[in-house]
């Protein structure tokens, strides 16, 4: 082997060792960086006229398990979906309150029932009559609060949808740009690994909102498609539009057209369907909170409010009433209108005729809402009827409850039971989704940078570099000796 060939081999080895050290250093320093794909230096032997001429650096390969990453992204979307559902039902459950909890719906109804019994034992007692009225107000206000909270959760979901869809458009725009940059870098023969890392980070953010699959395209580009079949990116990014509203009220639904719909490239997506193009992630569940879960929860609390109104509008409970007269509980002062039940829970108030705060008379609770006089102060007949009305077992007229007779407190318990059951189911789903995500995330990290292995590589690279450097030094010494002859 000639001196030139030997020197060429050694110098190419120094270059390869230097590049290898750079790759290993980058791997170690980014071991904990999300989206980082481990780099591997690609080398091959070089020859001239059949004679070995050292080593050639072919490039740098970015390694990643796209199958595992796809599964982890799907789990990420599932976790976001389960978390959104759990948040809603946990919040509604907290609004209703647990049995025995001070201020809960059951507690308010129990106190109201007890106050009526106390008042009937001393119908002449003004403090006891006032306590009964205040307890009735407590029930109405608690039902108002539950209704208001449900609408607040629906409104929060609507606002979150606006924010998340803006983020989705932004991420897709970034990925479209990164796709173009990757193609240009790859076409120029340069390493595009850092751009691919950034692209993976953007894709992971989208995966939090909707489950997606990544498809390889020419020149390092990728396409994105949801598991529901919507093309998010294939050359050009899709454009999502959504119109949020300022305030959400019980009567506002997606079916009535009062709430904004999701569109992709100008085409509506029916998010009320069980399976649709964007199903399976946080985005889809936010629509369900606004358009399904929230609407059903509102219907249930409206059913509780209607049951309460109907109990005390009966002429058998209060003989001073005639058909169409409002009873103890009213729809903003009016009698029940079954055609306008939606949102009743938010409008439920105690009849002003018995409420001193509204100019009413406490004695009407004892004598009857429309009584012409206070009557016998010792007569507890009417108060007993009211007490029996709250505890009477009757079948609720609406709210989606099963057709079984129960008391007012029993109906409130059924409402809590329904919401708690949904929350427990969501809790189980969240636990499973979180465990699945953590497992796949752990497997993904295992396939990432192994710092121990990289340090071993670095030792071998150091040895290779030293060997090539000694070879160059030896050639230098030999040439100096030859020139000194």
Q: Is 352 left (phi over 0), alpha (psi -120 to 50) or beta?
A: alpha
- Strands 231-234 and 236-237, by their bridges, are antiparallel
Write the DSSP symbol of residue 34: T
Within 395-450, residue ranges assigned H as helices are 408-446
Question: pLDDT (tens digit, 9 = 90+) per residue, 216-257?
Answer: 999 889 999 999 889 999 999 999 999 899 899 999 999 989
In the chain, domain spans: 3-64+450-484, 70-437
| Mean pLDDT value across the chain | 90
Backbone angles phi and psi of 456, in degrees to 5:
-65, -40
Bridge partner residues of 225 (DSSP): 213, 231
Helix (H, G, I), strand (E, B) or coil at 325: coil
What is the spatial distance between Cα 414 and Cα 99, in angstroms, rounded to a whole number? Answer: 11
Q: The pTM is what? A: 0.86
Tokens 């059924």 locate to 414
Average pLDDT over residues 17-26: 81
What percent of the chain is predicted at pLDDT more than 90?
A: 66
Residue 252 contacts residue 113 (beta carbons within 8 Å):
no
Q: What are phi and psi of 40, to 5 degrees?
A: -140, 125
**Which tens digit of pLDDT belongs to each residue from 149-170?**
999 999 999 999 999 999 999 9
Q: Give yes or no for a contact between 228 and 278, defined as CB atoms under 8 angstroms apart.
A: yes
The pLDDT, as a whole number, for residue 18 is 83
User: How far is residue 296's CA from residue 300's CA, in Å, rounded to a whole number?
Assistant: 6
The DSSP-derived string for 264-295 is ETTEEE-TTSSS-TTTTSHHHHHHHIIIIIHH
Lowest mean pLDDT among 53-67, 170-184, 399-413: 53-67
Distance CA 142, CA 135 (A): 11
* 52: confidence class by pLDDT, cuts 50, 70, 90: low
Give rounded-to-5 percent helix, strand, coil for the chain: 60, 10, 30
Distance CA 405, CA 392 (A): 9
Report pLDDT digits (tens) over 88-123. Answer: 999 999 999 998 889 999 999 999 999 999 999 999
What's the CA gap between 454 and 447, in Å, rounded? 13
Q: Cβ of 349: how many Cβ atoms within 10 Å?
A: 19
> Which residue, among 292, 263, 279, 226, has the nearest Cα to 81 in the 3D structure?
279
> Looking at residues 477-485, what average pLDDT do you find?
77
β-bridge pairing 222-226 and 231-234: antiparallel
The three-state secondary structure class of 423 is: helix
Quote the radius of gyration of the chain (alpha carbons, Å): 36
Give Dmax (Cα) for the chain: 139
DSSP codes joined into one string, 73-91: HHHHHHHHHHHHHHHHHHH
d(CA 166, CA 199): 18
Helix axis angle, 294-313 to 381-391, nearest 10°: 150
pLDDT in tens, 442-451: 887 777 777 7
Two tokens at 314? Answer: 């009966």
Residue 418 near residue 146 (C-beta atoms within 8 A) = no
* Beta-bridge partners for 38: 63
**Angstrom distance (rounded) from CA 108 to CA 114:** 10
Rounded Cα gap, residues 20 and 40, in angstroms: 8
pLDDT in tens, 260-283: 999 999 999 999 888 889 998 999
Residue whose pair of structure tokens reads 């057209």 in the numeric block: 257
């Amino acid at each position: 082997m000639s001196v030139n060939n030997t020197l060429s081999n050694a110098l190419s080895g120094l270059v390869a060792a230097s590049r290898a050290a750079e790759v290993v250093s980058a791997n170690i320093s980014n071991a904990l960086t999300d989206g980082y794909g481990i780099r591997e230096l690609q080398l091959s032997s070089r020859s001239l006229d059949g004679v070995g001429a050292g080593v050639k650096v072919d490039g740098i390969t970015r390694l990643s398990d796209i199958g595992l990453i796809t599964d982890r992204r799907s789990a990420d979307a599932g976790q976001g979906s389960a978390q959104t559902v759990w948040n809603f039902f946990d919040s509604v459950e907290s609004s209703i309150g647990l049995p025995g909890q001070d201020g809960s719906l059951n507690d308010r109804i129990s106190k109201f029932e007890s106050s009526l019994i106390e008042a009937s034992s001393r119908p002449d007692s003004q403090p006891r009559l006032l306590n009964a009225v205040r307890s009735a107000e407590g029930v109405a206000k608690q039902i108002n609060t539950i209704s208001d909270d449900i609408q607040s959760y629906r409104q929060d979901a609507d606002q979150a949808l606006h924010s998340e869809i803006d983020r989705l458009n932004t991420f897709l725009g970034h990925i479209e740009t990164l796709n173009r940059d990757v193609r240009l870098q790859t076409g120029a023969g340069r390493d595009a690994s850092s751009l691919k890392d950034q692209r993976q980070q953007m894709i992971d953010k989208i995966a939090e909102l909707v489950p997606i699959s990544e498809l390889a395209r020419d020149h390092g580009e990728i396409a994105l498609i949801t598991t529901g079949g919507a093309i998010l990116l294939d050359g050009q990014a899709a454009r999502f539009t959504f119109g949020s509203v300022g305030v959400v009220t019980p009567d506002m639904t997606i079916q009535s057209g009062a709430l904004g719909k999701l569109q992709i490239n100008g085409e509506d997506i029916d998010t009320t369907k069980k399976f649709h193009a964007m199903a399976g992630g946080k985005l889809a569940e936010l629509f369900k909170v606004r358009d399904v879960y929230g609407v059903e929860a509102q219907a249930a609390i409206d059913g509780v409010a209607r049951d309460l109104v109907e109990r005390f509008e009966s002429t058998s409970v209060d003989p001073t009433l005639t058909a169409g007269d409002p009873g103890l509980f009213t729809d903003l002062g009016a009698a029940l209108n079954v055609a306008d039940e939606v949102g009743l829970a938010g409008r439920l108030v105690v009849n002003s005729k018995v409420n001193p705060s509204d100019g009413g008379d406490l004695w009407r609770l004892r004598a009857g809402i429309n009584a012409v006089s206070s009557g016998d102060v010792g007569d507890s007949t009417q108060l007993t009827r009211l007490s029996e009305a709250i505890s009477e077992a009757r079948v609720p007229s609406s709210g989606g409850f099963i057709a079984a007779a129960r008391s007012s407190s029993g109906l409130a318990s059924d409402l809590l039971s329904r919401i708690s059951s949904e929350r427990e189911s969501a809790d189980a789903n969240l636990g499973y989704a979180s465990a699945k995500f953590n497992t796949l995330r752990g497997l993904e990290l295992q396939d990432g940078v192994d710092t121990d292995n990289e340090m071993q590589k670095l030792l071998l690279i150091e040895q290779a570099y030293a060997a090539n450097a000694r070879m160059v030094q030896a050639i230098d010494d030999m040439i100096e000796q030859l020139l000194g002859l």
